[in-house]
Amino acid sequence: MTQDLRLAIAAELSRSRSRTALLTGAVDDDDLTRQHSPLMSPLVWDLAHVANQEELWLVRDVGGRDPVRGDIDELYDAFKHARRDRPALPLLNPAEARAYTAQVRDKVLDVLDRVRFDPAERLLDGGFAFGMIVQHEQQHAETMLATHQLRTGPPVLTASPAPAAETAMKDEILIEAGRFVMGTDTEPWALDNERPAHTVDVPAFWIDAAPVTNGDYLAFMDAGGYDDPRWWSERGWAHRQNANLQAPLHWIRDHNGWLRDRFGRIDTVRHDEPVVHVCYFEAEAYAAWAGKRLPTEPEWEKAARFDPATGRSRRYPWGDDPPGPRHANLGQRHLGPASAGAYPDGASPQGVHQLIGDVWEWTSSGFHPYPGFAAFPYREYSEVFFGGDYRVLRGGSFGTDPAACRGTFRNWDHPIRRQIFSGFRCARDAA
């Protein structure tokens, strides 16, 4: 049992490192150290930061070993320096960052060989600290992928095209009123903000069977949605004016329609794919124009996890099996969202599609603790963000690794952000 867990952790550590290596190896040193957007760190910062967190938690804390580089903690502390300021720091250069990363990983594998997964120690139970570090690296890999999207220059990433639609779907699905269990006590690698499991009573609602597509979104644009304050909240309209929003990020107006820049490749906007790179305010305006609203976070999770036949909440919409290629578009297997209807095997029991993967979905909920929340293992993971100017996003994107995505996983960001792989689906009251 312990040996199986050790092997599973080693495999996950190696998978996350291959992805980091791919994303940082695809560009030259100049691209690694340059800042591609004030919203993002230089890639070389992410690289050494991933290793520094790994050193702090696994080498020093779990392993009880001496620091590898005690002198650089401050440089790679995300709370000490805003992303925009990171290029000016005396960061490790690419060769130094790679050497540091490898040195830390060597020690971690040694710690892993000897560690006892003592159930009495929360950090070690089920390999939690290792799981947290795997998820951290995968989350930074998604951030690095978003940096790649903001980078200019010839394309350097490749992947097979996402699958086409297989299924015709209903437009909306009715989720009956009633209680369901939200959050988890049993997912071994779930983070503090996903805990504890608790019962929530949700009134009946309709939810879109698929994320809003580019075709849907173009109808909003063609109807003058960006120029009509009726559809926008007060804050949303102010932001639309200030930022001069006119289309999703990375869309380019062409004489006969819209194109998009995806990782340096220019292509026509595909109507059947979920819209991506929209901020919360754009999602909110679209929903109002469509006579709907965004789902709340409990509505989203109920649609994704509740099985009316058993009354149980599943780990994923399709059941408890971990995500495979037929379930969801995750893990950068493709470099964009798949057509609506491309993953019939990943649908929920009630027929809601693509809740996991493709695009992060904005919900109307702010980021708050569940009743009974306890910060673990540190306040800075979630607690310091509660109640801030954030909206919760759910479900993961094509750039989210399965290790950092489940039915309970919560992401949050400022409502103006759209460099992330964010889309949405709509809901409405059933009354």
Dist CA 268 CA 259 (whole Å): 4
Is residue 84 part of an annotated ligand binding site?
Answer: yes
Report the C-alpha gap between 140 and 19 in whole angstroms. Answer: 10
Tell me the residue type at 21: A
Give me the amino acid identity at 197: A
- Is 136 labelled a binding residue? yes
69 annotated as belonging to a binding site for a ligand: no
Residue 383 near residue 390, CB atoms below 8 Å:
no
**Which of the 8 DSSP states describes residue 316?**
B
What DSSP string runs through 317-367?
TTBSSPP-TTT---TTSSSSPPPTTS-GGG--TT-----SSSSEEE-S---
Report the distance separating Cα 41 and Cα 83, nearest Å. 5
Distance CA 381, CA 297 (A): 19
The DSSP bridge pattern shows strands 422-423 and 360-362 to be parallel
DSSP assignment, residue 269?
A: P
Over 156-204, what HEC string results? CCCCCCCCCCCCCCCCEEEECCEEEEECCCCCCCCCHHHCCCEEEEECC
Residue 77 is labelled as binding a ligand:
no
Q: CA angle 196-198-201, nearest 5°?
A: 155
- What are the residues facing 319 on neighbouring strands? 316
Q: Is 49 part of any known ligand binding site? A: yes
Contact 16, 62 (CB under 8 A): no
* Bond from prior residue into 248 cis (ω within 30 degrees of 0): no
The reply, when asked if residue 83 is annotated as ligand binding, is: yes
Does 140 count as an annotated binding residue? yes
Structure tokens that stand for 172 in this block:
């909306």
309: DSSP letter: T
Q: By C-alpha distance, which of 179, 177, 170 is closest to 200?
A: 179
Which amino acid appears at position 278 of this protein?
V
Instruction: Determine how many CB atoms are found less than 10 A away from the CB of residue 321.
Output: 10
List all residues 6 or more positions away from 321 whose beta carbon is below 8 Å from its beta carbon.
327
Q: Which residues are annotated as a binding site for gamma-L-glutamyl-L-cysteine?
A: 83-86, 413, 417
Q: Which residues are annotated as a binding site for Fe cation?
A: 49, 136, 140
Q: Which residues are annotated as a binding site?
A: 49, 83-86, 136, 140, 413, 417
